[in-house]
Every structure is written in C-alpha cells, then in structure tokens.
Amino acid sequence: MHVPDGFFDVPVSVGAGVFAAAGVAVCLRGARRELDDRTAPMAGLVAAFVFAAQMLNFPVAAGTSGHLLGGALAAILVGPYTAVLCVAVVLLVQGFFFADGGLTALGVNITLMAIVTSVVGWAVFRLVTRTGPHRRGTLVAASFLAALVSVPAAALVFTVLFWLGGTAPIDLGAVAAAMGGVHVLIGLGEGLITALTVSSVLAVRPDLVYGARGTAGPLVLRTAEGEVEVGGRPAEKPSTGIGLRPVLAGGAIVAVLLAGVVSFYASSAPDGLEKVASDKGLSAQEKPHAAEDAPLAGYSVRGLSDQRLSGGLAGVAGVALTVAAGGGVFYAVRRRRRPTGGVSPAGALAK
C-alpha cells in the first residue's frame, strides 16, 4: 500500500502531511511512557523486522500479492505510540533511500500504514484481550484479529482520501470494492505473520510483549518451565533463562536473513494497490519518484549486475539504515522519559 506520487491532489497530500506530522508529534510524546528498559531496545528491532518483512510479498490471488504493513504487530510488541514511530521510520527509509512510496505522498503513507494500522490494530487487540480469558491463546488470537482488521481499515481510509482528492476520474464504488476485496485477503496474511511473530516472542520472553501488560488481572502464559504471570508492568525477571541481548541478536539475524536472502524468493506480482491502480487506470497518474536514481532505488544496488546479490545487499543495507534511524529516534525519546525507578538500560540488557 505504498502510495506513489501523483495519486492524490495537492490539498489532500498537504492535509495528510499535516495530519501525519501531528500524529507523529503526539506519538513522540506518548512513546516516552512506553519506551522503558525493555521496550526501547526492542523498538529498533521491530522497525528493522517490519522493513525486512515488507520485502516479502506473498501471493494472495491470481496476479496479486501482498506484504506486511506491520502497524498492528508493532503496537502489540512495543505499544501503539511507539508502533507509529516504528512504521514511520520504515516509510522514511523506504521513501528516501529505496524510492518506494512517493515523497509528496509521505503524509498519506504514514497516515495509512503507520497511524491507521497501529490505532485500529491496538484497539481490536485490547478489545479482545479485555473480554477473553487471560492466556497465551487469547493473545495470539487477538494478534491475528487485530492485524486482519487493520489492513482493510487502511484500505478504507485510502478510499475516503481518494474520494476527497483522487487525481483519476474513477468511480468511487469501484475503487472501494477493489481495495476492500484484495486487502481482506492481504489482511489474512498479515494476521498469520503477526500471530506467528507474537507467539514466538511469547514463547521466549513474554515480558517483552507490551500487549501482555496492563491486563485485568495476571495473564497466565504456559512455557516450557511452567505457567508465568505477566501483569500490569514488566516482569522484574525474565520468564526464561534467555537474556535480552540474545533475543535482540537473534531478531536482528532473522531480519537480515529475511531482507538479504529470503526476499529473493518473494512474489513478483504487483501488490494490492498496484493491481487495483493498474486495473482501474489509476497507475497512469503516477509521477516519477524524486529518488529514482538513488543508489538503492528499487531495492537493488546500482552498478551490480547480479540480481540476487544486488537485492540481498540492498535489503541488508535497508535493515541497517532502519536500525540506525530508529535507534536514534528511540534513544532520543527514551532520554526524555522521566525516571520512574527500576533497573537501568544496562541492567536490563544484562538480564
């Protein structure tokens, strides 16, 4: 759902940019409450994972593919405010370094892919976890439903924005039906990836899942070492013998492998928005990207003829850029957090 330049007129593009900037400003402030000693190191990793996962297009229908948006996943792992920042960082890296998503459409993309998916995903997740039994199965099911709903929700907002200022004379009903239908299918894939990821983190370090905190009563998770309770604040001790550093290192390795190796085998079919734009004639409105001559444009290293090597190196570079950019943002926000006691960041890493 990376919207290119040219799909929306100037008023909508500017308006979405103002809305996105205001939303990011609010999230910069809100993230101070979320970025504690364990969430802060996780946030950069989550952003890198979202970047890597977005390179993995999966087939959803004849001639159409989809990829992770990541807002719901990030909200569940590191909190809704931080999630918006994570996805926004990914979109900035993609737009300026990889020519993916228009620069004049950056506000639209942050609105759709960062704000809408994170807010809707978190709302659905909290609704399910507050009404269901407080067990790991509920968390995983809630993760699936949150991610599933977040994708067509973003498609719906795209349709509303197109109604307000789309640049092509296309029937609104046709756009709504096409965007809604294909993105429900993409949402199923998003839900599976999100549920699998959250389940994996719960199995290793349930105290690192932000969404497991603040439940009404202790959340009981079954692990290899018995039942573990995760309540309204991070557990003082990890539920397993695995420290935070190995978890971060393992996650970084997974992100690098996904972006640098697995991405070569991703579906080459157009994603949901590209397919709809092509079928409905909207793609004729697309404008050349300002960064189309960038060294990493198109997720390939300029000058390398080997397609696999070029794409793999570009993916790894993207992960590194995302970690660097995200780490800088989250470190700056974390420093502005008011001390609330507890262990220091160094102490948390040692656990």
Domain ranges across the chain: 10-212+244-333
pLDDT of residue 63: 87
Distance CA 135, CA 140 (A): 9
pLDDT score of 349 more than 50 = no
pLDDT score of 341 more than 50 = no
Kindly give, in sequence order, each residue whose CB lies less than 8 Å from that of residue 57, ignoring residues fewer than 6 positions away: 65, 66, 67, 266, 267, 268, 269, 271
Query: Dihedrals φ, ψ of 294, to 5°?
Result: -65, 155
Kindly give, in sequence order, each residue whose CB lies less than 8 Å from that of residue 6, ignoring residues fewer than 6 positions away: 102, 167, 285, 286, 287
pLDDT of residue 334: 87
Q: Sorting pLDDT into bands at 50, 70 and 90, what band is 30?
A: very high
Q: Determine the average pLDDT of the residues in 60-66.
A: 88
Q: Both tokens of residue 25? A: 């400003």
CA distance readout (Å), 107 to 3, 141, 179, 259: 10, 31, 19, 25
Q: How many CA atoms lie within 13 A of 56 on its CB side?
A: 20
pLDDT of residue 38: 80
* Nearest to 121, CA basis, from 8, 197, 182, 63: 197
pLDDT of residue 223: 55
Helix H or strand E segment including 222? strand 219-223
Task: Answer whether 300's CB lies under 8 Å from 260's CB.
Answer: no
Q: Helix (H, G, I), strand (E, B), or coil: what is residue 223? A: strand
pLDDT of residue 339: 56
Strand partners, 219: 230
* Nearest to 248, CA basis, from 65, 68, 47, 73: 47
Q: Work out whether strand 64-66 and strand 226-230 pair parallel, antiparallel, or are unpaired.
A: unpaired
DSSP 41-86: HHHHHHHHHHHHHHT--EEEETTEEE----HHHHHHHH-HHHHHHH
pLDDT of residue 244: 87
- Tell me how many helices (H) and strands (E) the chain has: 12, 4
Q: In this predicted structure, which of 13-17, 44-48, 234-238 has the lowest mean pLDDT? A: 234-238
Q: Determine the average pLDDT of the residues in 108-118.
A: 98
CA angle 24, 27, 33 (to 5 degrees): 160
* Nearest to 32, CA basis, from 346, 336, 347: 336
Looking at CATH, the fold of the domain delimited by 10-212+244-333 is given as Arp2/3 complex 21 kDa subunit ARPC3 (1.10.1760)
Q: In this predicted structure, which of 62-66, 222-226, 281-285, 303-307 has the lowest mean pLDDT? A: 222-226
| Mean per-residue pLDDT of the chain | 89
More confident residue, 226 or 47: 47
pLDDT of residue 240: 56
Q: In this predicted structure, which of 224-228, 263-267, 298-302, 311-315 has the lowest mean pLDDT? A: 224-228
pLDDT of residue 236: 40
Distance CA 276, CA 186 (A): 13
Q: Sorting pLDDT into bands at 50, 70 and 90, what band is 305?
A: very high
Kindly give, in sequence order, each residue whose CB lies less than 8 Å from that of residue 328, ignoring residues fewer than 6 positions away: none
Q: Both tokens of residue 101? A: 């998503």
Q: What percent of the chain has pLDDT over 70?
A: 88
Q: Sorting pLDDT into bands at 50, 70 and 90, what band is 336?
A: confident
Distance CA 216, CA 236 (A): 19
pLDDT score of 61 more than 70 = yes
pLDDT of residue 346: 40
Q: Sorting pLDDT into bands at 50, 70 and 90, what band is 268?
A: very high
pLDDT tens readout for residues 202-250: 999 998 999 998 554 555 555 555 555 555 444 444 555 688 889 999 9
Q: What is the pTM of this model?
A: 0.89
Q: In this predicted structure, which of 12-26, 76-90, 332-346 has the lowest mean pLDDT? A: 332-346
Helix H or strand E segment including 220? strand 219-223
Q: Sorting pLDDT into bands at 50, 70 and 90, what band is 126?
A: very high
What does DSSP assign to residue 294?
S
